[in-house]
Every structure is written in structure tokens, then in C-alpha cells.
Amino acid sequence: MIKTKTLLWSMTAATAIVAGLPAHAQDCPIQVGVLHSLSGSMAISETTLKDVMLMLVEQQNAAGGLLGCELEAVVVDPASDWPLFAERARELLTVTEVDVIFGAWTSVSRKSVLPVLEELNGLMFYPVQYEGEESSRNVFYTGAAPNQQAIPAVDYFLEELGVESFALLGTDYVYPRTTNNILESYLLDKGIAPEDIFVNYTPFGHSDWATIVSDVVALGAGGKQVGVISTINGDANIGFYKELASAGVSAADIPVVAFSVGEEELSGLDTSELVGHLAAWNYFMSADTEINADFVAAWKEFAGEDRVTNDPMEAHYIGFNMWVNAVTEAGTTDVDAVREAMWGQEFPNLTGGTAVMLPNHHLTKPVLIGEIRADGQFDIISQTTEVPGDAWTDFLPDSAVLTSDWQELECGMYNTATETCVQITSNY
């Protein structure tokens, strides 16, 4: 187990330069692409991820750079426009010729970028929880897979809160739809009746929540405990929580557990009426560890005293430092060499454990349940040890036989029943 040190120690350790590396072996500066929406409906969540990447690059340069080079952040704004993500990624890889990309939030934006990465052999670190059912040799998934967030959150509702009727509310795109397909199957397997599962999808930026909240309340008309599983993304969350409060629905009445609401989203809300509602993540700003205190202090010094940290920021922090260490180990930013050096990389997470990069390009991560406080922070009420991320869920029949192993099997979609590698065609 790696001992948790201070943030400064962690950043400095990541900059060890390969001895004797020829000066001409690496072009300088090393360019880091930052592909996050700074405008549009997802700017509420993604702008802070751009900022944390700028902080990490600045810290790395202050600690000596990488392979004798300075790092340069190349920031582009895909503006919450999913096809534009692909265009901006292509520009980063072919015009700017970045060495790596850190970016995307929604799964539809990631899937827009994926064919470009695979065509041009680019490398991207994706920092947000997602629906799984994917494993690309060109992506490292540093956010949570369903078994590291969605399934444990449902288990908490079932086992700790006695929820009997479930409202699965999501934004209308691939992440909520696939996640809810997994959760429906899981709930039915747990004995929840089909009539006790209400599923609803709304567009990005949706604002009229009165009817939907009324339908959720109606689920409890027979006396059953109702719970909401929320995969609502972006600024639509503001209207949803306001309507809950307007309808007089408290966490004691109908608890909500959100997968896309963290400290950053709550920082723009009056959270006094949201106290007690929940979120499931792998990190909260309130984590009581020395390394997290150092990270939060560094962030506030860089971005401002009123700025908060959140889970996807930690994912970028871990992914960036693993990439730095892999580049150092490989002695080059070459994508193929870095990919091989990434497998088995370990780095301290901010909650006191150690993240390990698995051959399926997913991390080991703890699962945390947090309860919203009046100050917009979370009380951590449940925390597991590190859980290995699963690219393919056990709760959908077509996926249960699949596994991902880029190190030994050299396959992201290996069928364990037929012992064959299924070739994935990017067609998004």
C-alpha cells in the first residue's frame, strides 16, 4: 500500500526524469489537450475541470516539467455541442498535435470523440462516472463504472433506507438510458415489481419539473417508500431540486441520490431545502485526509477561496499523475509506449486509499455516499474499500459474458463463453 503523502510530495515524485534520455528524443513543449465545455448547458460542470487541468499543468512545470520539457495546456471549447467534441479533438490531434487529451463529461460527447481517437491513435483520459459497456484501447476511464457508483447506491436505498418504489430520472442520452437499463434489470432481480419502477427522461436544460415531480410523489400513494435515482445532468438539476422544494418534498419523504450532482453544482444553489438528499461518488471535498487537505488548499490558492473541489476533479488529478508517471517510465509521450506503462500504475487517491489502473483501462475506486449539508458540502455516511471498475456489467445478459483486458488478451470486448475477441466498430 502506498503511504499517503502531501500533495506537493505527490506532484514532485511524479516528475522524476529518465536518466540519460537523449535531449532530442522528446519534442518540447509537451502539449496537453483540454477538451471541456466552457459554454452551453454543461459549462456548469465542465469549466472547473478545465481549471483543475491548468492547475495540474502549472504544478508539474513548477516541479520541473516532464522529460526535460515544460508542459503546455491547449484548451478548446466544444460548447456542449456533441459533434463539435469530435471536431475539436481532431484539431487537437492533427493541428496542435497534442500528446494527450483530458476531457469530456457526457457519454455522448465521449462517444463523439471515440472514433477520432481510434482513427488517429490519440489518448484520452475521461474523468466522469459513466454507464460502462465500453472499453477502448485509446481511453482510460478514471471515473466510476456502474459497479462503482450506480449499483452500490441502489443497494444503499434497498438495505439502509428501505426504498420499495424507484423513480429513475435521467437526461435523455446514452449514460442515463444505459445506466437505467442496468438498474432496472438489477432491481427486478432484487424482487422489485415492474410497476414500482418509474423511468423518465428529459432533454438537456429541461426546466419544467412540476408534472414529473407530481408523478414521483404519486408512486408513494400506496404507502411504499419512494426513492429517486437521478442521472439528470447539467443545469437541469437546478430546476429539478427547486421543484422538489416547491412541492414540499424533503429527503425524509422521498430521498434522492444523484450521480451527477456534486459540490460544484450545489455551489450555485440554495441548498438549505436539499439537506439530507444524497449523492454517490468516489470522492467528496469533505474527505478527512491530509492529502485531500493539501489538494483543497492548493486548489483554493490557484482558483480562489470560494471554489470547491469534486469527484471528476479527483479523477483528473489521479489520471494526470498516472500519465506523468507512465510517460516518465516509458521515456516518451508516444501513445503506444505510454499505454503499456499505464497498466498497473498506482497513485494515492484523495480519500486515503490507492488507485490502481487495471488492464481494462478502469481504476480501482472506493464508493462513497454523501448527504447534502446546508453549506453545500456532503457528510460522508458510507465508504467502501477500493472496488475494481468493471467495463461490462454482470446485469445485462449480452454483457455478462464479456470482459476487457488490453494487457494480456489485447481485447476490450472478449467473450468468455466463445473465447473470442469481438471487434468493436466505432459507429457513433
Domain spans in the chain, listed from the N-terminal domain onward: 7-144+287-364, 150-258
Arithmetic mean of pLDDT, 16-35:
67
Arithmetic mean of pLDDT, 336-344:
98
Q: Which residue has the higher pLDDT, 383 or 25?
A: 383
According to the model, what pLDDT value does residue 424 have? 57
- Looking at the DSSP bridge assignments, the partners of residue 405 are 411
Q: Which fold has domain 150-258?
A: Rossmann fold (3.40.50)
Rounded distance between C-alpha atoms, residue 182 and residue 393, angstroms? 8
Rounded distance between C-alpha atoms, residue 228 and residue 169, angstroms? 7
Quote helix, strand, coil % in the chain, to nearest 5.
Answer: 40, 20, 40
According to the model, what pLDDT value does residue 25 have? 58
Instruction: Give the model confidence (pLDDT) of 140-177 as tens digits.
Output: 999 999 999 999 999 999 999 999 999 999 999 999 99
Instruction: Give the model confidence (pLDDT) of 237-285 as tens digits.
Output: 889 999 998 999 999 999 999 998 999 888 877 888 889 999 999 999 9
Q: Which residue has the higher pLDDT, 165 or 1?
A: 165
Arithmetic mean of pLDDT, 229-239:
90
- Cα three-residue angle 184-278-253, rounded to 5 degrees: 85
DSSP letters, 217-284, are HHGGGGSPPEEEEEE--TTHHHHHHHHHHHTT--TTTS-EEESS--HHHHTTS-GGG-TT-EEEES--
CB 389 within 8 A of CB 378: no
Q: Are 7-144+287-364 and 150-258 the same fold in CATH?
A: yes
Domain 7-144+287-364 CATH superfamily: Response regulator (3.40.50.2300)
According to the model, what pLDDT value does residue 268 have? 72
Max intra-chain CA distance, the chain: 73
Residue 244 CB contacts under 8 Å (≥ 6 apart), including other chains: 209, 213, 254, 256, 273, 274
Rounded distance between C-alpha atoms, residue 242 and residue 227, angstroms? 17
Rg of the chain over all Cα atoms, to the nearest angstrom: 21
According to the model, what pLDDT value does residue 426 have? 41
Per the prediction, the chain carries an average pLDDT of 92
According to the model, what pLDDT value does residue 265 have? 84
Write phi, then psi, for 364 (nearest 5 degrees): -85, 135
Arithmetic mean of pLDDT, 370-395:
96
The pLDDT > 90 percentage for the chain reads 86
The pLDDT > 70 percentage for the chain reads 93
Arithmetic mean of pLDDT, 91-99:
98
